Chains A and B, each alone.
Chain A
């Protein structure tokens, strides 16, 4: 299946290569570089490329390309999903998935890759299993290991590999037993010029951080599970209980994991928390334009909208912006032509406004399209769909854990067309 993996940084250096079958020369990446040169944006590089003898399947994560080489038929999503799992694992181990961190932990990374695939077929991808075989780096341990000659590699088979709950390691012990859940919802929306919703849906995710001793069996129930539509679950969730009782019943992995993702797509359920009044004009003559944006609260369920930010990709001809903001700061990046207005908290009494003039390249024709506005925002302690966790029960263990649920609403791909 997966023959080789190359990690390539933004500027096109291959800084790690791993082969699971015989070695494939790194020159195979030249085909990829050729395409990458042509694509303006790294995101525009097609994920699957065909070369005379190989197929290159790549993902772009954290400014890095994970490029895998396959030679035979394999579902492309299989490879893409696996590459993402590799990136997730690095993130989990090292806190971030970047070139620097991977270079600093090259040997651990290599050992991980060795365990994750055997002959190109996934062997162990559960974080709990991997962590028992290869312990994550930690300053204290590396000091101890240098002194004692100990190692970061486990010498017995992780219990998870053989158990019915491979995602959970055995013998977990904590002095503080806690289970926290974050319900994070992102609003994906497209609003048209007049402010009417063209399209809106909510992408929700329930992230969990569970540190519980032993083998707890948790049941998470919602006040209004019928809201949810199109869920996908972590393998630990019992499908049957969900289908029959609409509760999430599971033996959790140890540590952080994504319990479930869901969509709420029926449009009347999706509240749009802010409205945007905008007026962007480019004049035919005088090579300048005007910009006037006001943002106000709409359906925010009585919560404060925070972290408000507006990003505008200006047409290439806009040279500079001379604006005044009643609240927050704005920056205009001349090279990327991106205008960012960082507003912060939305005050309903005094609506933030940004207005002023844009100067354009002299003689250039006026851009025919007005740039669209990308809105970023956060609302704490609110799941915009109205989803609420009603209770968390624990069976199988005697102690009383600390429990907590946090809600957060964010703007996902929230775009206002102008």
Chain B
């Protein structure tokens, strides 16, 4: 490749990134010569003032980095472009910087000021990426700058920036562990954050920086449990693993009194309000409501699509749940080696296919072996028989071992297994035979007296089997049980003596062993043979064998010099040996947390946190109680909810947050984070609520006092507007003179509280009479119901004044589906339909400010919708807003401490789901609308309608 090809590159257009010349082996020497020149081109391109050229150059440079080529000499040229306006160029420069800054620390410093500027950018994405890059540049000299940036970002308005701050914490920690104390402060602050976005990342930071500071979790425990389901998948894994450890330190072992305990505890949590006063040791075990909260809130995650989440929940249940409940994880988890029994119903899921990869086969085999018991062993053995024929020989060997383990564990089938294995001895494959011999040897040791024929059979095999391990095993067996085969044993030794010099080392050792044993039991026949073998061994190349021969000779052949030991030779050699226990290779890893890397490798990986044992007595559960104001103050910062200036007392602190750029786009998510103060007590969990009930009440009282004072200052609540909108049901012309209008009267419909009252007004402008006005053929969506209006008699023509009114009730099932029916007179039928605006599907309710906040806190996450809007010019005052909102939706005003905010509340008519609306106004007509409603559909539609009402 010459300069000309480089020249072509330059003109190559945008897609030249994938050009073949880059694809070549990066190490091929030919490139280096042209590299230098090419870099000159790139430098030129980077220096040009055309963004497209710069972009092109950066793309090529990044492609070089991706391929692992060195592009470090371009550093000065690249770093100049860090402030480039083009966002893609900028991003690619960031990529470059992060890669090379560590190598070129001095030059990297040139870029720092750009990032510092970026940290103040009104665009939250820019703020976040500036922090990301700044924290990824591993240059020690900027540690103080990083620290400052992280601290600032941790109280940024945008949850995304705060998330980035959480990510930056471990980066700084790995760069300079001395910052730990300061970083813990930031972690503490971020742990108090109520957005799901931040939760996962900050727990990750916690795990990397200060996993031992379990006390930081107390106040956030309940919040984390409650947010968990809305956190993104990766965060869920980290949080669940951390909470498993936390629970092990804070709660009692649910299986402490095995058996009886399990059932009771399931419901036990209902009646343990005053648990702390009582002495736990003497009481039967009662599960801490917080422990229950964790188990309950993680359970639905077993249905996550993410296997890592499922595994995390499974290990949580395995380590924390009462025995009776662990079963729930079995179905979700069919690929792990856990306690047998639990998986028994799923036995067949572990049957092996010939196409499975070997490691899967071995794992499945392990599971099958662990699941084997008296009842299913015959099925499993039949299955094993097919495996033995497999072409994958490693797998066959594993299967034979598995059979051996089944045979040792289940006494009933020992003989069957043994017979099966003996049959395998005539297998053509040597590996299979060898493995069988090894396993048979182990099995025979358990009851040798019964099986002398098998031993004989094996003795014959020595002629054929070449696998050393198998030969060695056979020899050992014969030696060990030579009294069972007194005739054959010396003959075997004879053959072995002949082939001694050609045997493998382990076989030689066993030959010596056999010789020694035979010498001791049957010296008459074997004395000479033994001598011969020992002589051969004496001159063997392997010193182990020479040593062994020397040792044995001294021991067994009596001479004058032989010491006291030789008397005991027989005892030494022919002692009764205990039968071996065939063990799973997967044993002994129980002490690692399930699903962890350490568990898999059966070795402690760096950064592994031990799962502590359950405490003897539960630590004080009240540490997890959360008090609103205290928690806010304790972390010394403002939750972004407060920067929205909700109530007076915190507004002062809120100003601190205001010093940050208030980007117009950064506010959108901020409301969503307004997790309730009470969220710790579990949103819909009655059981767990008791624990914190008392201080909630106190709080409420405080709130009430506060509110009373405020009420004096604020305007009284404005009643729902009485202006009702009329809709046309039947036009005069289509109705041939009969026109019908309807409105939603917003009165409770007395016959059925679940129905929306629809008031209809009939006007007859035709020339003829209209009689028997009634409804027919009502077509409704499933679930909807209609209460028809009573039949209306005659309507005189021309009597315009005399209009008739009727009220009907419709249960719309909280949907805006139309109710279709026919309006019948004595002569005609008209098809009509009534479709309610979403605002009419609710009825107003009265809430106090505190109740409102509490309810709102429970309708977070997916139940909350936030929109930004610019208010219509005529609608800039509070009165107009209230007017318009209440016209759009049948809601009532909720008193509020701030004049920047209007709140409304209602319940849907059918299901009584809460509907909470907040309109927060800002300068210059900007405003933010938040709707919290359990029924998301209603919520979304309501947002649209109110938006329309406020902007037009």
Q: Which residues in A have some Cβ–Cβ distance to B below 8 Å?
A: 1, 13-19, 21-23, 26, 39, 41, 43-44, 46-48, 50, 55, 70-78, 80-82, 103-107, 109-111, 114, 118-119, 121-123, 125-126, 142, 145-146, 149, 151-157, 159, 161-166, 190, 192, 198-199, 201, 215, 217, 229-235, 238-240, 242-243, 251, 258, 261, 265, 267, 313, 315-316, 365, 367-372, 374, 395-396, 413, 415, 417
Q: At the interface with chain A, which of B258-266, B298-306, B744-752? A: B298-306
**Would you call B809 an interface residue if the criterion is a C-beta within 8 Å of the partner chain's C-beta atoms?**
no
Type the 1/0 row for B296-319, where 1 means its CB is closer than 8 Å to any CB of A: 000010011111101110000000
In the complex, which of the residues B164, B346, B668, B865 contacts A162, with contact meaning CB atoms closer than 8 Å? B668
Asked if A153 and B91 make an inter-chain contact with CB atoms under 8 angstroms apart, the answer reads yes
Q: Give the secondary structure class of A's interface.
A: mixed
A278 to B181, CA, bound (A): 72
Asked if B52 and A146 make an inter-chain contact with CB atoms under 8 angstroms apart, the answer reads yes
Question: What 12 additional pairs, Cβ within 8 angstroms, besides A232-B310, A396-B941?
Answer: A75-B241, A103-B23, A104-B18, A107-B66, A110-B62, A125-B234, A162-B197, A198-B351, A239-B229, A313-B355, A365-B428, A368-B389
Can you sample 6 A-B contacts with CB below 8 Å?
A73-B597, A80-B308, A104-B17, A119-B136, A146-B13, A164-B862
Asked if A157 and B124 make an inter-chain contact with CB atoms under 8 angstroms apart, the answer reads yes
A156 to B126, CA, bound (A): 8
Distance in angstroms from B418 CB to nearest chain A CB is: 21
Asked if A75 and B596 make an inter-chain contact with CB atoms under 8 angstroms apart, the answer reads yes
Chain B residue at minimal CB-CB distance from A145: B14
Asked if A372 and B354 make an inter-chain contact with CB atoms under 8 angstroms apart, the answer reads yes
The 5 closest A-B pairs by CB, nearest first: A162-B669, A72-B607, A151-B88, A395-B937, A369-B389
Q: Give the secondary structure class of B's interface.
A: helix
Asked if A110 and B66 make an inter-chain contact with CB atoms under 8 angstroms apart, the answer reads yes
Distance in angstroms from B176 CB to nearest chain A CB is: 14
Residues on the A chain within 8 Å of B86, using CB: 149, 151
A413 to B310, CA, bound (A): 24
Chain A residue at minimal CB-CB distance from B100: A23
In the complex, which of the residues A18, A72, A234, A261 contacts B66, with contact meaning CB atoms closer than 8 Å? A18
Asked if B665 and A157 make an inter-chain contact with CB atoms under 8 angstroms apart, the answer reads yes
Asked if B349 and A199 make an inter-chain contact with CB atoms under 8 angstroms apart, the answer reads yes
Asked if B351 and A149 make an inter-chain contact with CB atoms under 8 angstroms apart, the answer reads no
Residues on the A chain within 8 Å of B668, using CB: 159, 162-163
Q: Which residues in B have some Cβ–Cβ distance to A below 8 Å?
A: 13-15, 17-18, 23, 25, 50-52, 55, 59, 62-63, 65-68, 86-89, 91-92, 95, 99, 102, 123-126, 128, 132, 135-136, 138, 158-160, 163-164, 167-168, 170-171, 174, 197, 201, 204, 229-230, 232-234, 237, 241, 300, 303-308, 310-312, 331-332, 346, 348-349, 351, 353-355, 357-359, 383, 386, 389-391, 427-429, 595-598, 600-601, 603, 605-609, 665, 668-669, 672, 815, 861-865, 936-937, 940-941
In the complex, which of the residues B52, B63, B102, B308 contacts A81, with contact meaning CB atoms closer than 8 Å? B308
In the complex, which of the residues B128, B307, B311, B605 contacts A55, with contact meaning CB atoms closer than 8 Å? B605
In the complex, which of the residues B125, B233, B606 contacts A73, with contact meaning CB atoms closer than 8 Å? B606
Residues on the B chain within 8 Å of A26, using CB: 68
In the complex, which of the residues A121, A142, A415 contacts B15, with contact meaning CB atoms closer than 8 Å? A142
Asked if B123 and A50 make an inter-chain contact with CB atoms under 8 angstroms apart, the answer reads no
Residues on the B chain within 8 Å of A119, using CB: 135-136, 167-168, 170-171
Distance in angstroms from B183 CB to nearest chain A CB is: 14
Distance in angstroms from B674 CB to nearest chain A CB is: 12
In the complex, which of the residues A23, A43, A242 contacts B99, with contact meaning CB atoms closer than 8 Å? A23
A258 to B305, CA, bound (A): 9
Chain A residue at minimal CB-CB distance from B667: A162
Chain B residue at minimal CB-CB distance from A238: B862
**Interface-centre pick from B59, B87, B234 (highest chain A CB count, 10 A):** B234
Distance in angstroms from B600 CB to nearest chain A CB is: 5
A259 to B516, CA, bound (A): 71
A208 to B68, CA, bound (A): 39
A151 to B65, CA, bound (A): 20
Asked if B51 and A149 make an inter-chain contact with CB atoms under 8 angstroms apart, the answer reads yes
Chain B residue at minimal CB-CB distance from A370: B389
Known A157-B124, A396-B940; judge A77-B311 contact (CB<8 A).
yes
A16 to B234, CA, bound (A): 24
A157 to B160, CA, bound (A): 9
Asked if B598 and A73 make an inter-chain contact with CB atoms under 8 angstroms apart, the answer reads yes
